[in-house]
């Protein structure tokens, strides 16, 4: 072998301790954790962090959580839904207090990422807490020079289960380039004129930017949701390479 | 680095007698979660071919029927996903990498690394060391039944002792290369090797 210079070893994404600055109740099953990292070089919308809990006997549990805040925000926001018999999420929702330390590392992931440089139009499709990384994209878009066309199709059990609803509704009211569609799967208000039931092919065909405009898709949610929506989009002749997916877990919304 | 803080009031719910079989940071699941970067492709076995390449030229290609006629191996193994789940005692059937090389007329691997290329553009790189001597296979059956498309059917690479992103779904082409090159995930911040027992999740671990 020739004596070539070995490439410099990449830096390990080190564990660090953040402080919990705020815990925000979003819905009956969801809270946002606002964290102050010890040091943070920024992230790209769509990336996640790993958090790690340590019991007093030394046992550790790690889980991934998407970043919901924009790179422009100083503090890091994670949004966590309760998995009833879960090990980590009930702890984060019920036990964690303002001022507590929380070990984490990141940012992680480079595929399910959107930054303004990629342009638009973008179709963001969320199932339940799958909204989290898409919210980081929308918040980043909000802070970008205007006019990037975006659609958010958000499937939730009921209106009360929609996370960030005020913020989303406010953006939709003031921003003509942003279209917001809720699909309510289990329970709809009496006067509801929006979509009832799961996201289906017609809803996608009616609201997504047409294939001729080469929209980029970001789909996030429970595995079955992502599988279903992405295969409907392929059926509708959208380019599979324009569809990026992130799967949170086995079941849910 | 500062001391690891104890998470006040945190108790394990997932600790089991199988704890010794769980690599660091992993927890046990009994489901079979799905993780891929894009939609699940619809592949018909009539159109399927697997190619083996060396230095840009084709060493051998197999049609589905030819591939199915190769010696079959069964592997009972645990699998570990970088998203933290581990599934114990899974049963896979397919063609071992060793048998694939034999069928291609290669007595030993010509180069030290391979890139696995898949439908949908996914790639991943694996050292040949991690594929030979019964360590890996091209799997076509899970629990005795044909591999479902969402799990990588009709055929996926199976390298169970590395994180599961190395076990590329919808495998179509295996290309030998002299040196390690990053594949899809490796180019996006994931570790080049991906050994779960050394918790090589991300670049630099
Ligand atoms: C890249 C990535 C990003 C993620 N981002 C977020 C996020 O922003 N917000 C968020 O709330 N979660 C997110 N998750 C899911 C999260 O990592 C955990 O899996 C989830 O919080 C459950 O952990 P737990 O310890 O409470 O449950 P566990 O103890 O792991 O599991 C308890 C039971 O619930 C099942 N289960 C596990 N995960 C889920 C799930 N997601 N939905 C339903 N059932 C489940 C398990 O199979 C088990 O039976 C993300 C996952 C990944 C891989």
CATH number of the domain enclosing A96 = 2.40.30.10
Report how far residue A86's alpha carbon sits from residue A61's, in angstroms, rounded to the nearest whole number: 11
Q: What is the mean pLDDT of chain A?
A: 92
pTM of the model: 0.83
Report how far residue A250's alpha carbon sits from residue A231's, in angstroms, rounded to the nearest whole number: 17
Lowest mean pLDDT among A32-36, A234-238, B1-5, B61-65: B1-5
Interface of A with B in 53-112 (CB under 8 A): 53-57, 59-64, 85-87, 91, 95, 100-103, 108-112
Q: What range defines the domain where residue B81 resides?
A: 61-198
Lowest mean pLDDT among B30-39, B92-101, B113-122: B30-39
A122 within domain boundaries? yes
B189 within domain boundaries? yes
The answer on A128 and A230 residing in a single domain is yes
For A101-159, write each residue's pLDDT tens digit.
999 999 998 899 999 999 999 999 999 999 999 999 999 999 998 889 999 999 999 99
pLDDT value of position A218? 98
A6 within domain boundaries? no
**Nearest-5° angle of CA A94, CA A97, CA A100?**
130
Non-local CB neighbours of A121 within 8 Å, separated by 6+ positions: A148, A149, A150, A151, A209, A213, A215, A216
What mean pLDDT do residues A192-204 have? Answer: 95
- Quote the DSSP letter at residue B107: S
**Which among A52, A59, A249 has the least Cβ separation from residue B12?**
A59
Give the residue from A65, A83, A108 where a domain finishes.
A108
Name which of B81, B1, B88 is nearest B34 in CA terms. B81
For B155-174, write each residue's pLDDT tens digit.
999 999 999 999 999 999 99
List, chain by chain if needed, residues with CB within 6 Å of any ligand 1 atom: A 48, 63-66, 79-81, 83, 85-89, 129, 132, 222, 246, 248-252; B 14, 27, 29, 31, 83
A234 within domain boundaries? yes
* CATH of residue A199: 3.40.50.80
Give the residue from A78, A108, A138 where a domain finishes.
A108
Best residue among A31, A45, A53, A65 to mutate for probing ligand 1's pocket (most ligand atoms within 8 Å of CB) is: A65
CA distance B147 to chain A (A): 16
Non-local CB neighbours of A241 within 8 Å, separated by 6+ positions: B38, B120, B121
Write the residue with the smallest CA distance to atom 38 of ligand 1: A249
Mutate: best of A98, A110, A229, A238, partner B, most B CBs <10 A: A110
B116 within domain boundaries? yes
What mean pLDDT do residues B178-188 have? Answer: 93
Whole-number Cα distances in Å, B192 to A197, B135, B202:
43, 18, 8
A11 within domain boundaries? no
Whole-number Cα distances in Å, B44 to A11, B12, B56, B63:
43, 45, 26, 12
pLDDT value of position A9? 53
Mutate: best of A10, A12, A16, A61, partner B, most B CBs <10 A: A61
pLDDT value of position A3? 42
Q: Give yes or no for a contact between B53 and B100, defined as CB atoms under 8 angstroms apart.
A: no
pLDDT value of position A10? 60
Report how far residue B82's alpha carbon sits from residue A48's, in angstroms, rounded to the nearest whole number: 13
The count of structural domains within chain B is 1
Residue A5 contacts B where some CB pair is shorter than 8 Å: no
> Ligand 1 centroid vs A249 CA: distance in angstroms?
5
Q: What range defines the domain where residue A70 resides?
A: 16-108
Beta carbons of A9 and B204 less than 8 Å apart: yes
For B58-93, write each residue's pLDDT tens digit.
999 999 999 999 999 999 999 999 989 999 999 999
pLDDT value of position A154? 98
pLDDT value of position A250? 55
Beta carbons of A223 and B33 less than 8 Å apart: yes
Q: If you search the block for the tokens 């953040």, which residue do you land on?
A: A18
Q: How confident is the model at residue B17 (pLDDT cuts 50, 70, 90)?
A: low
The count of structural domains within chain A is 2
pLDDT value of position A63? 94
The answer on A217 and A96 residing in a single domain is no
pLDDT value of position B20? 83
Beta strand A48-54 with A101-108 is antiparallel
Beta carbons of A108 and B203 less than 8 Å apart: no
């Amino acid at each position: 072998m020739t004596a070539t210079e070995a490439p410099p070893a990449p830096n390990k994404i080190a564990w660090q301790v953040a402080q919990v600055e705020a815990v925000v109740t979003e819905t009956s099953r969801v809270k946002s954790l606002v964290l102050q990292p010890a040091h943070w070089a920024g992230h790209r919308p769509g990336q996640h962090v790993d958090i790690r809990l340590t019991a007093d006997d030394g046992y550790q549990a790690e889980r991934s959580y998407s970043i919901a805040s924009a790179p422009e925000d100083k503090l890091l926001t994670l949004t966590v839904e309760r998995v009833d018999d879960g090990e980590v999420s009930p702890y984060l929702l019920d036990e964690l207090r303002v001022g507590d330390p929380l070990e984490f590392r990141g940012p992680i992931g480079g595929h399910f990422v959107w930054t303004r440089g990629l342009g638009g139009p973008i179709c963001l499709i969320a199932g339940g807490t799958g909204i989290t990384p898409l919210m980081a994209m929308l918040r980043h878009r909000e802070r970008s020079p205007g006019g990037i066309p975006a659609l958010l199709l958000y499937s939730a059990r009921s209106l009360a289960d929609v996370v960030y609803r005020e913020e989303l509704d406010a953006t939709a009211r003031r921003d003509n380039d942003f279209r917001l569609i809720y699909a309510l799967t289990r329970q709809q208000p009496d006067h509801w004129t929006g979509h009832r039931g799961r996201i289906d092919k017609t809803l996608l065909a009616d609201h997504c930017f047409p294939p001729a405009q080469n929209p980029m898709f970001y789909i996030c949610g429970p595995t079955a949701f992502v599988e279903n929506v992405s295969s409907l989009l392929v059926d509708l002749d959208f380019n599979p390479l324009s569809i990026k997916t992130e799967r949170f877990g086995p079941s849910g919304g | 680095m500062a001391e690891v803080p104890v998470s006040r009031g945190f108790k394990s719910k997932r600790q089991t007698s199988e704890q010794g079989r769980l690599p660091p940071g992993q927890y046990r699941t009994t489901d079979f979660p799905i993780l891929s970067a894009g939609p699940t492709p619809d592949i018909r076995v009539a159109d399927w071919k697997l190619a083996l390449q060396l230095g840009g030229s084709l060493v051998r290609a197999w049609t589905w029927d030819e591939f199915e006629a190769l010696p079959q191996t069964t592997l009972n193994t645990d699998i570990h996903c970088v998203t933290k789940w581990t599934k114990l005692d899974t049963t896979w059937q397919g063609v071992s990498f060793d048998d694939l090389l034999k069928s291609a007329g290669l007595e030993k691997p010509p180069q030290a690394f391979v890139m696995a290329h898949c439908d949908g553009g996914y790639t991943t790189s694996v050292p040949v060391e991690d594929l030979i001597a019964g360590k890996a296979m091209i799997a076509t059956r899970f629990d005795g039944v044909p591999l479902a498309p969402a799990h990588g059917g009709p055929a996926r690479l199976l390298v169970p002792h590395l994180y599961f992103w190395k076990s590329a779904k919808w495998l179509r082409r295996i290309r030998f290369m002299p040196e390690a090159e990053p594949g899809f995930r490796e180019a996006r911040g994931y570790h080049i090797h991906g050994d779960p027992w050394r918790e090589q999740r991300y670049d630099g671990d």
